[in-house]
Each structure stands twice: as C-alpha cells, then as structure tokens.
Amino acid sequence: MSLNFYQADVNYLNNLKTINAFLTWVFIGECAMKLISYGPRAYFHDGWNQFDFFVVSTSVFDILMSSLGKDVMSFLSVGPQIARVLRILRVSRLLRLVKSLQNLQKIIQTMVYSIPKLMNVVGLVFLFFFIQACLSWFLFKDVTFGT
C-alpha cells in the first residue's frame, strides 16, 4: 500500500502486487468463512463485520480496476486512486485489538486525554525557543565567523 516509491524496480512492484493479492484472498477467505458460519443476517448485524466486508470489497474493486487497465477505467473521473485510498482502511482493522486488550485500551485512553494538555506544553516550548532565538540574535548579532 504505502511501499511504492518513485523509480521502484519492476520486480519490487510485482512482489508488492503479489503480496496485495495474497492478503486480499486471505481477507476474502475470512469474510466467506464468517458469512457461512454466522449466516448473512448475523454477519451483517455486527459493525466490525460490516467494516471488514467494506474493506474486502474495496480491495477487490482496486485489484479489478488495476487489472483492467486505464482505457477501461475512463468512466471514472478520479481513476483507481480512490480505491487505493480506501484500501488503507485495512490497517484500521488493527483497532479490533484495542477492544480486546483492556490494558492497551487504558493506555490509549490516557494518551487521548493527555493530548490537550500536551498542546499547552508544546506551546510553552515553542515560546521558549522563540525567546531564546530573539535573545541570541540580540546578543550575538555582531559576532563574525572566520578570519
């Protein structure tokens, strides 16, 4: 997903496509097994399963659009980039771990509560650096370097 870079080797890009296809098939398998075991009504009742289905379907859409080529995708005004952006949502599946791990959930909740207070500290640090820069400029403006 985010491992592409300018002037990447063709083998490297092919390996990324292969890994992407493999992970998409793994997610499709997970989705299919859950659909079979829970049934469609119970599967789509859970919000996480709805999110997983959305991620899987956008990943399949991205693979289809990239395999069809640019001439077939002329009906899209933005191209396949929107599907690639939606594919990033795969990473957010890790948020499920937060729900199951209570200690990790407490740490993240503490970090969220401390962000506004942290902004005050960052503001004070920037104010300190600004005052130091003004004072240094005033004190050392006549110093010359070299001979």
Domain ranges for the chain, please list them: 1-95, 101-147
- At residue 64 the predicted structure's pLDDT band, cuts being 50, 70 and 90, is confident
The answer for residues whose C-beta is within 8 angstroms of residue 49's C-beta and 6 or more apart is 34, 38, 43
Does residue 136 carry a pLDDT above 80? yes
Residue-wise pLDDT tens digits, 23-49: 889 989 999 999 999 999 999 998 888
pLDDT tens per residue across span 88-121: 666 666 666 666 677 777 877 888 888 888 888 9
pTM confidence score: 0.51
Share of the chain above pLDDT 70, in %: 76
Could you write out the three-class secondary structure of the chain? CCCCCCCCCHHHHHHHHHHHHHHHHHHHHHHHHHHHHHCHHHHCCCHHHHHHHHHHHHHHHHHHHHHHCCCHHHHCCCCCHHHHHHHHHHHHHHHHHHHHCHHHHHHHHHHHHHHHHHHHHHHHHHHHHHHHHHHHHHHHCCCCCCC
**Statement: residue 57 has pLDDT above 60:** yes
Tell which wins on pLDDT, 68 or 116.
116
